[in-house]
Structure 1
């Protein structure tokens, strides 16, 4: 089994194939510095091709899920400077390197979505700014009763640019609600997040939420890995395309996936009323 060692993340993988990724900067309220988002991108990119990983639980240590972007680092980093070419460089050149930095940041968070292994995220306490970008890239979101969410970017003079404005409208059915919370940066309590569909379940405590998340992830891990990764891949594709395009792509995809050993094994196990055990990818 592969070893995952990071500075800002704690990673473990169970015998069942459930990976647990914990954001681990509690003294900084899990604020995202460059190291944090870089490691998330690297970690989930590795999960994509790791057959020992079948599903993922994502959580955070300490008092809250994340306080958002590490503003101290951001004030002195690429977001502030644009490039290393000096203060007198023209706006086009500064903008060019600034754009590359944003794209790299986007790719790191998008690695959670493009990792074909389903990700269940447990949110507790505050989830601000980049936290919304991150959880929007996850498959299943659960939270604790004390959780609150904030699309915080307007309060630091910018539009959210790492995925919230693209994914949140497709998660939540109300365009009006999405615009309200993105324009105002107001607090969204857990109950409201549940009502609008941002989270699928609200648990009383973090311990209960973690238990629920691991139960979900373990149930997923016991399914055919071919079926699970295909389902996530096709859900993501169909979300971003028309129904007809999604159907045609699914037909092509399943001409390969239907040839796995998992289908006859699953059918025979169902007929025999036995629990199938599927080989890893």
Structure 2
């Protein structure tokens, strides 16, 4: 896929692979996120979502860190935007925050699984990003911080909403109020990441293997599993069961099901049509 972005790169793992790497690409500033990123990120996700060749997205950072937080110039521009009366300034700021939120939530709206491969720093906005990913892995050198409270900010693009469901309410409260730095091993113990790899190279190799495994599974089942899990997270059990019943009533009877049964019966590798 042609690279059309200033803050991102998209690289297909190999010519015949369904795994696409979406790389935050501002290494000179530790991948601190500018406003341009929030414009480009949902567009890149949408392009991958609509690309039939893409089945799994691996999100990583170039250079020494996954994400160093918000770009301070962008933060200063937001802080200094106080033209107009108080009501209009507040309304404008609210629209801007909603714009930032939507850019991160785009990962949940994306049909394809998004896997975070985290190395080095994952601070502030980095936490907001990875908590919206579907699966998270890190290298041993990774470190994390819910940093916003130290910057005089109540984290507002998803960490406070998603982190409690991942690490538990009490842990999320402690991490968010102290803004303390914690290691990849602690992130694993908390449930924030599923596995810690010994190095960045091992991380990328391991995540690629996992992503390739997912990409070989029936695509309708992969898309459906992600959609149903996210929906069920936000509703009660009865509503979640009703949602999956409706989903499967329209998606279950597919060529994927027939092919999966046939492949298991004949002990061969299945072959599925692209979405």
**TM tier relative to shorter chain:** over 0.9
Gaps of 5+ in 2: none
RMSD: 1.1
Match of 2:157 among 144, 159, 162: 162
Q: For 2:17 and 2:121, how far apart are their aligned partners in 1?
A: 30
C-alpha distance in 2 between matches for 1:275 and 1:163: 40
Per the alignment, in what secondary structure is the counterpart of residue 2 of structure 2? Answer: coil
Q: Does structure 2 conserve the Cα–Cα contact (< 8 Å) formed by 1:79 and 1:98?
A: no
Q: Secondary structure of the equivalent of 2:264?
A: helix
How many angstroms does 1:112 deviate by? 1.1
Pairing partner for 1:151 from 146, 151, 156: 146
Mapped partners of 2:242, 2:271: distance in 1: 30
Distance in 1 (alpha carbons) for counterparts of 2:272 and 2:116: 25
Cα distance between partner residues in 2 of 1:61 and 1:226: 31
TM-score computed with the length of structure 2 as normaliser: 0.96
Alpha carbons 1:149, 1:188 under 8 Å: kept:
yes
What is the aligned partner in structure 1 of residue 191 from structure 2? Answer: 197
Aligned residue among 246, 251, 264 for 1:257: 251
1:65 aligns with 2:66: yes
Work out the CA distance in 2 between the residues paired with 1:28 and 1:73. Answer: 13
Write the mapping of 1:72-87 to structure 2, written as runs, cut at 5 A.
Answer: 72-76=73-77, 78-82=78-82, 87=83
Q: Residue 80 of structure 2 aligns to a residue in which SS?
A: helix
The residue number in structure 2 matching 1:140 is 135
- For residues 192 and 135 of structure 1, the distance between their equivalents in structure 2, rounded to whole angstroms, comes to 16
1:93 to 80, 85, 88: 88
Alpha-carbon distance, 1:20 to partner: 0.5
Following superposition, the deviation at residue 48 of structure 1 comes to 2.2
Normalised by the length of structure 1, the TM-score is 0.94
User: How many pairs does the alignment contain?
Assistant: 273
- Give unpaired runs (5+ residues) of structure 1: none
1:28 — aligned with what? 29
CA displacement, residues 41-88 of structure 1 (integer Å, 9 cap, x when unaligned):
111122222221100111101111111000122202x34305xxxx3x
